[in-house]
Amino acid sequence: MSRKIRHKIDTMLTGLGIAVIFTAVLLTGSLGIQIQMPMALFGVLLMETGVWGLAQKFLPSDRHYSSLRNEGNYMLDLVRELNAAAIAKDLGEEDAKRFQATLEKMHESVVKMSGLAALEDGAKPSATDERLDSDN
């Protein structure tokens, strides 16, 4: 299911929740408090479901290359680590060992990403990919 559809569902849930709350408030004269309060509570729950984006969590994701995405996220963490190591090296707080170690991890990650680039979720990795996994 596409992200746009899930986003629209979240927006509609929020709008529906607001409409239910307004209905409960506007019908104060004709509804008893025993119906009005649960109705308003239901509206709040619908609204919160939309606001917090719970449709995103309950409806299936359209991602097919999660392994590559996870490795890409790991690479972003390494970029942050490389930056911190470079700053510490430039300030003289530590030597270049941490910087070089992070750089080596980044090279390993790039090689691993090349194996994961066409690997869909649930597919078996090739012999080369299995070798890369055993190296880490």
pLDDT along the chain (136 residues), means of 10: 77 91 88 89 89 72 76 93 92 89 94 84 60 48
Helix axes 127-135, 97-116, angle to 10 degrees: 160
Tally of structural domains, the chain: 2
Q: What is the pLDDT of residue 136?
A: 47
Q: Is the dihedral of CA 111, 115, 121, 126 positive or negative?
A: negative
Rounded CA separation 71/49 (Å): 31
Cβ(109)–Cβ(74) below 8 Å: yes
Residues 109 and 77 in one domain: yes
What range defines the domain where residue 129 resides?
A: 66-135
pLDDT at 131: 45
Same domain (yes/no): 51, 93: no
72 and 17 within one domain? no
**Are residue 32 and residue 72 in the same domain, yes or no?**
no
Q: Which of 11, 8, 35 is nearest to 23 (CA)?
A: 35
Task: Give the pLDDT score at 32.
Answer: 85
Give yes or no: residues 80 and 127 share one domain.
yes
Is 52 found in the same domain as 97?
no
Among the candidates 42, 58, 74, a domain finishes at 58
Give the pLDDT confidence score for residue 82 in this predicted structure: 93
50/95 same-domain check: no
**pLDDT recorded at residue 6:** 78
Closest CA to 121 of 68, 73, 66: 66
Residues 71 and 103 both lie in one domain: yes
Same domain, 47 and 72: no
